[in-house]
Chain A
Amino acid sequence: GQSLEQPSEVTAVEGAIVQINCTYQTSGFYGLSWYQQHDGGAPTFLSYNALDGLEETGRFSSFLSRSDSYGYLLLQELQMKDSASYFCARSPSPNDYKLSFGAGTTVTVRA
C-alpha cells in the first residue's frame, strides 16, 4: 500500500503557481522523487530530494523537509501542457532502487 499522501486533484489557470504537497511515513525513507505522467504516457522524472531544501529545475521546483516528513512540488508559470498527473515517490535507501508511489495528483490547467 501507499505510505504517501497527496491531494487527488488541483485546478489552476495558465500562468498560475501550483503547489502539490506530499506527506510520508518516516520509516524506511531515504529520498523523495516527483514524476509527471500524461494520460496514456510513461511517467517521466521531474525532481529528486534526499536533503532538506529546495531543488529548482526550470519552472518546476521540489522541496523536502525531513523533520516534517513533508515535501512539495511547485509548478510555476503554468502552461496547458502541464495538465497531467503528478506522483511523489519515496526511495527506501541509497542502495534500494525500488520506488513506492503516492496516489497521484491530477493537475488541470485552464485557459
Chain B
Amino acid sequence: SAVISQKPSRDICQRGTSLTIQCQVDSQVTMMFWYRQQPGQSLTLIATANQGSEATYESGFVIDKFPISRPNLTFSTLTVSNLSPEDSSIYLCSVERDRPNTEAFFGQGTRLTVV
C-alpha cells in the first residue's frame, strides 16, 4: 500500500487568495490524481499529474484556476487560485500503483473553506 501525506488538512481562506495543497507519497508513482469532493457529494477528478509533463485536466477544470506541479515521482502540489466560496470543498490527492488497475490510495484530504 502507499502512504500519502497531504497538507494542510484544512484551511480557511479569504476570497480572491490562493491555496496550495501538497501531496507527498512514500514511494515513486507514475501518476498522481487530484479530486474535489464538495460537501456531501461524490469525488470529481480535477486532473492527472505526470512527472515531467503538464497535467491533464478534466472537462470543467482549467490550468489557470487549478495549476499543478509535479517536480518528481513522489510529490505534487495543487493550487486553487482566485478563491471564491464555491471552491469550498475537500481536495484529495490519489495515486495508483504501476500495476493492473485495481486499487487507488488517497490522502486524508484538505478541507478548504472560503470566506
Question: Chain A's nearest CB lies how many Å from the CB of B14?
Answer: 24
Q: Are B45 and A43 in contact (CB under 8 A)?
A: no
A99 touches B45 (CB 8 A): yes
Provide the A6-44 mask, 1 if CB < 8 A to any CB of B, else 0. 000000000000000000000000110101000011111
Q: A99's contact among B100, B104, B108, by CB below 8 Å, is which?
A: B104
Q: How far is the CA of A84 from the CA of B35 in the complex (A)?
A: 19
Q: Using CB atoms, name the residue of chain B closest to A43.
A: B106
Identify the closest chain B residue to A4 (Cβ). B42
Asked if residues B106 and A44 are in contact (CB atoms below 8 Å), the reply is: yes
CB–CB A45/B33 < 8 A: no
A71: Cβ under 8 A from any B Cβ: no
**Given A42-B106, A42-B107 in contact, is the A2-B42 Cβ separation under 8 Å?**
yes
Let me know if A97 and B101 touch, CB within 8 A: yes
Shortest distance from the beta carbon of B91 to any chain A beta carbon, whole Å: 12
- Interface size class for chain A? 20 to 34
In the bound complex, do residue B92 and residue A103 qualify as a contact, i.e. CB atoms below 8 Å apart?
Answer: no
Chain A residues lying within 8 Å of B43, measured Cβ to Cβ, are: 43, 87, 99, 101
Verify B101–A96 contact, CB threshold 8 A: yes
Q: Which residue of B lies closest to A92 (CB)?
A: B101
Q: Bound complex: CA of A93 vs CA of B103, how far in Å? A: 14
B102 at the interface (CB under 8 A from A): yes
Cα A44 to Cα B4 in complex, Å, equals 12
Does A67 sit within 8 A of B, measured CB to CB? no
**Cα(A91)–Cα(B9), bound, Å:** 28
Beyond A2-B42, A100-B45, 8 additional pairs, beta carbon < 8 A = A45-B104, A97-B96, A98-B45, A98-B48, A99-B45, A101-B44, A104-B41, A104-B42
Q: 4 closest pairs, A vs B, by CB?
A: A42-B106, A45-B103, A101-B43, A101-B42
Which residues of B pack against A, CB within 8 Å? 31, 33, 41-45, 48, 92, 94, 96, 100-109, 111
